[in-house]
Structure 1
Amino acid sequence: MTESIHDHATRLRDLPLAELVSGEAGTRAEPWYEHRVGPLLADLRKHQIDDPAWRALFELAEARGVLATRDRMFAGEAINSSEGRPVLHVGLRARPGECVVEGEDIGALAKAVRERMAVFARSFRAGELKGATGEVLDQVVCLGIGGSELGPNMVLEALREHVPAGVTIRFLSNIDGSAVNRALAGFEPERTLMVVTSKTFTTHETLHNASSVRRWIEAGVGADGVGAHMAAATASPDRARAWGVPEDRIFEFWQWVGGRYSLWSAVGLPIVLGVGPERFEALLDGARELDRHFLESPAALNLPLKLALLGHWYATGFDARTHAVLPYDARLGRLVDYLQQVDMESNGKSVTAAGQAVDGRTGPVVWGGPGTNGQHAYFQLIHQGTHTIPADFLIAIEAPPGREDHHAILMANCLAQTRALMVGKAQATVEAELAAAGVDADTIATMAPQRTFSGSRPSTTVLLERLDPRALGAVIALYEHKVFCQGALWGLNSFDQWGVELGKVLAKELLLVVQGEVALDDADCDASTRALIEQIRAASSD
């Protein structure tokens, strides 16, 4: 099967992509190159692939049981094999009765928590939530790291115009003391609500940061009043209570909610506070539309599966090692940060769920950022570098209010980049342009190759009707399911993250050395780390 993929890639690799798109080369008779799903339209035409290659990829997905694994996930089977847990983030956005696992209605459970969150958020957004001194709480510090921060922060940035005037919401994830100072700069303890998000309520960075913020609030309102300034989202409510969070401010989620798939749960409390319960429900509705499409569509019409297969196609047949995500919308400025965790923490693995070394490439490096900024930074590499870099372009059709002229320019740039990547610019054309400008032959011989664009650089374009909660939810779920499909295709467990753990263990050991509680001679250190600690100690003692 892999040999067949290589054969098709060899057949298509040197065909001009523009000719594939126009029908002059390859075979494209099937309606497989454009997909409309809910508020999204995905154009897959600008890819170095044709119908026979797609069929080979569909056969590979069938042979590796990708959609069968999908069915097991939706059925609530424990597909997170290393932890013995089901993977039910899809259940968080299901309607009551749609996702029942071992007699438990997952949709109803999630809805009950969201209803509590909605009551709390409406009080906050109406200015009725007050702290210990009677001041309105309108300054929020959200404490969490990884999935507890990346998803909610990304969504709030995308929908920031819906945050009430006078309300400021900030996130604090990094243990760096400068991050603490910046998060609290200009805030007043009497007006500050801290939201602590931790699945276990033991995450070291989060709890240390939270303790610092709690002490800061206590200094302003007193130790007895700090509870009025706290809320928490956790799967360990007993620990939150022990830490001092009031019972009615603890919003629970479950062990089967993976961190990078958790924004749909109580982890989304900052989103609800910021944009309101109704928009949070719309976010879930958009994701649910993608869930239904993913669950019910056959392989040839299944957009998340096809995006996953394209990633495998380029990794296997074109030696692609990175994937660029290029949202032409400043509001999606944190999307890439979020997707880096969803993709690279899920599939950045070299051992299968069966404990065997993988055969071939797995998760790519995911990178990118908003256009048009990227055009003046790294697009040079995408256009003329030596790497094959598949790219996703995302843009909303509807302009921001009152900025139609700006949006027309943004749209033109987005479309122009995808076309330029596809068609390139032939050396003969460059030579003719230089000659017409009066450039001498020797200079043309040197300059023309540098100004030549090979073209045939692949891209997907995703059009959103508008950037609203529904469309954003659909985009997030689209990438979630794409990553799931690639993990299944490669035989990985996409729902654990052992690569995070080793560094945590070593950090605990080294903290004792850095703080001077363990002598350097007694520490298990390599020569490099030992030398660095010696330099740090020498500088600190000056």
Structure 2
Amino acid sequence: MGDLRAKSWAKISAQPESTLAQLFSDHPDRVAQLSTRFLLSDDGQDEEAGAGGIWFDWSKTHLTASLIDDFNELAGAAGFADMRRRLFAGEVVNPTEGRAAEHPALRGVGRDSSVEEAEALRHRMRMLVGAIHAGALGEVKHLIHIGIGGSALGPALAVDALARDLALVDVHVISNIDGVALEAAFAVCDPQTTLVAVASKTFTTIETMTNATSALKWLADNGVSDPSGRVIALTAAPERAVEWGVDETRILPFAESVGGRYSLWSSIGFPVAIAIGWEDFESMLAGAAAIDRHFRDSDGADNLPLRAAFSDLYYARVRGAQTRAVFAYDERLRLLPDYLQQLEMESNGKSVTAEGAPVDAPTAPITWGGVGTDAQHAVFQLLHQGTHLVPVDFIASIAPGDDLDAAHHRILLMNCFAQGAALMSGRHSDDPARNYPGNRPSATILCDDLDPATLGALIAFHEHRTFAAAVLMGINPFDQFGVELGKEIAKKIQQGGESFDPSTENLLALAGLD
């Protein structure tokens, strides 16, 4: 397989490099060839019947029919079809930890037994969410959700995107161990009407458990007689939550085979369901499941996450792009770049293959981004006239998220589309300072609307895009050992008796930690 993979990469690298302008000139049907409308409905109904959709456009990238053929050959050499089968069959796809990765099963697409288990756990969560909304735990106006990494980034994104004007419960997601973050939530929450959700797969994460302890102290200091009774535990280790003092009826488990950055669909999504209601939470899962089925059942360039991976790897491995930028022209998606940073960089930021051999080319690019139009007045100078090649994804919604004058949204969308056009075409000037070279790639993801189903589909699309890229590179996207070393050293500092490099020793002394 290694030799076949190497031959495929050699063919891809040998492809001629045409400019975007040339590609459009030579192929008048380029937009049709490299754009796809994806319908979110389960039954394939057309948009007149009410289906929402997403338009994916890679025509402003340097993908060509010949490149796609070579990438399809690479997918065959890399065993993509079998790895995809193993993912949905609940087989081991994380060899270093001997685990499956069953986040699709949480959405109803996967091994039957895992889907059934997920449905049972989701029913348990639905009952608790319904009881809270019905007042069974008294008046609940606020939820302080405490987690870190995937236990916080996913809920924060979904709540911020979907619950801005109609939150059933005011949710505050806290991840930073810096007490300033927790105090900010305390300042706007009434302890008498506040629940605390503690999200930790192992229920031992030091940042999360320290914040949780402080939250319980805040409740007690402000007259709550039974602080532990205000806690909801979201964990794959329910026995540890019981030991910590959480009532069994308020523990929402999830499976060990669900990784943190893929856990939004499990009980980690509890704050989302509390904020937007169960029906909308289920719609978010349904949107993700529509992408799951598409990814499972489509082949070659018709498979949208796989096509995105082709583009990503072409720029990272062939054209030497070290970063990939994501700009959401929608304030509701302002946290999407943060979410994708963890998803993509923690998954594919690896230097060895799944077999433990050194990789032979770059793996994950650095993911970064921002919100349009703010970013246009900050980082777009570098994108248009800088020396770095940066592939860009633009994400926008045709329907606005506000009720103001329609001019707001028209200007927003015009700026989004104008930036992609300007990156591609550039503009020649005899004045070097005013010359725009152009030929800079971008893709556009244009949603009909940003509703729960669409958000679910967007997140699942990026999950599978990340997995597809990993398979083509021959790496394991589901472990994250690079996260552990710094934590281990922090524990050694806390325990004392260890020596470190002179710089670290000096910093510890300056901060009074020696």
Q: Do Structure 1 and Structure 2 share a fold, with TM-score over 0.5?
A: yes
The corresponding residue for 1:237 is 238
Q: 1:146-165, aligned counterparts within 5 Å?
A: 146-161=149-164, 163-164=166-167
Describe the superposition over 1:169-212 as per-residue Cα deviations: whole angstroms up to 9, x where unpaired. 10111111212211211323222100001111111110111011
Q: 1:291-310, aligned counterparts within 5 Å?
A: 291-310=292-311
Deviation at residue 54 of structure 1 after TM alignment = 1.5
1:452 aligns with 2:435: yes
Q: 1:8-19, aligned counterparts within 5 Å?
A: 8=15, 11-12=16-17, 15-19=18-22
Q: 1:499-518, aligned counterparts within 5 Å?
A: 499-512=482-495, 518=496
Asked if the contact 1:235/1:252 (under 8 Å) is kept, the reply is yes
Superposition misfits of 4+ residues, deviation over 4 angstroms: 27-31
**Aligned match of 2:90 in 73, 76, 100?**
76
Deviation at residue 314 of structure 1 after TM alignment = 0.8
What's the C-alpha RMSD, in Å, of the aligned pairs? 1.8
- Aligned equivalents of 2:193 and 2:290: distance in 1? 39
**Aligned match of 1:190 in 189, 192, 195?**
192
**Aligned match of 1:5 in 3, 8, 12?**
12
Letter in 2 for 1:399: P
The corresponding residue for 1:472 is 455
Deviation at residue 400 of structure 1 after TM alignment = 2.6
Letter in 1 for 2:507: L
Distance 1:198 1:163, change over 3 A: farther
**Aligned match of 1:416 in 415, 418, 425?**
418
The corresponding residue for 1:107 is 115
Distance 1:163 1:251, change over 3 A: farther
Q: Secondary structure at the match of 1:369?
A: strand
**Aligned match of 2:213 in 200, 206, 211?**
211
The corresponding residue for 1:462 is 445
State the percentage of identical aligned residues: 43
Deviation at residue 2 of structure 1 after TM alignment = 1.8
- Aligned equivalents of 1:186 and 1:469: distance in 2? 27
Q: 1:381-530, aligned counterparts within 5 Å?
A: 381-403=382-404, 404-427=406-429, 431=430, 448-512=431-495, 518=496, 522-530=497-505
The corresponding residue for 1:325 is 326
Describe the superposition over 1:363-389 as per-residue Cα deviations: whole angstroms up to 9, x where unpaired. 010000110110011011111111110
The corresponding residue for 1:348 is 349
Deviation at residue 523 of structure 1 after TM alignment = 2.5
Asked if the contact 2:88/2:111 (under 8 Å) is kept, the reply is no
- Aligned equivalents of 2:246 and 2:370: distance in 1? 37
The corresponding residue for 2:46 is none
Deviation at residue 128 of structure 1 after TM alignment = 4.7
Q: 1:223-372, aligned counterparts within 5 Å?
A: 225-372=226-373
Distance 1:163 1:402, change over 3 A: closer
- Aligned equivalents of 1:30 and 1:196: distance in 2? 47
- Aligned equivalents of 1:156 and 1:7: distance in 2? 45
Letter in 1 for 2:9: T
Asked if the contact 1:349/1:362 (under 8 Å) is kept, the reply is yes
Deviation at residue 140 of structure 1 after TM alignment = 1.0
Deviation at residue 30 of structure 1 after TM alignment = 9.9
- Aligned equivalents of 1:164 and 1:449: distance in 2? 51
- Aligned equivalents of 1:116 and 1:300: distance in 2? 39
Mean CA deviation greater in 28-37 or 214-223 = 28-37
> Please, which runs of 5 or more residues in structure 2 have no aligned partner?
1-7, 40-52
Deviation at residue 316 of structure 1 after TM alignment = 2.0
The corresponding residue for 1:56 is 70
- Aligned equivalents of 1:68 and 1:162: distance in 2? 44
Aligned residues: 493
Distance 1:297 1:31, change over 3 A: farther
Describe the superposition over 1:266-299 as per-residue Cα deviations: whole angstroms up to 9, x where unpaired. 1100000000110011001100111111111111
Asked if the contact 2:174/2:181 (under 8 Å) is kept, the reply is yes
Letter in 1 for 2:209: L
Deviation at residue 524 of structure 1 after TM alignment = 1.7
Distance 1:400 1:28, change over 3 A: closer
- Aligned equivalents of 2:397 and 2:125: distance in 1? 30
The corresponding residue for 1:124 is 132
Asked if the contact 1:162/1:274 (under 8 Å) is kept, the reply is no
Asked if the contact 1:46/1:422 (under 8 Å) is kept, the reply is yes
Q: Secondary structure at the match of 2:167?
A: coil
Deviation at residue 218 of structure 1 after TM alignment = 1.8
- Aligned equivalents of 2:197 and 2:295: distance in 1? 33
The corresponding residue for 2:140 is 137
Asked if the contact 2:236/2:254 (under 8 Å) is kept, the reply is yes
- Aligned equivalents of 1:273 and 1:172: distance in 2? 16
Letter in 2 for 1:148: S
Asked if the contact 2:146/2:212 (under 8 Å) is kept, the reply is yes
- Aligned equivalents of 1:158 and 1:332: distance in 2? 6
Deviation at residue 162 of structure 1 after TM alignment = 5.6
- Aligned equivalents of 2:99 and 2:166: distance in 1? 36
Q: Secondary structure at the match of 2:511?
A: helix
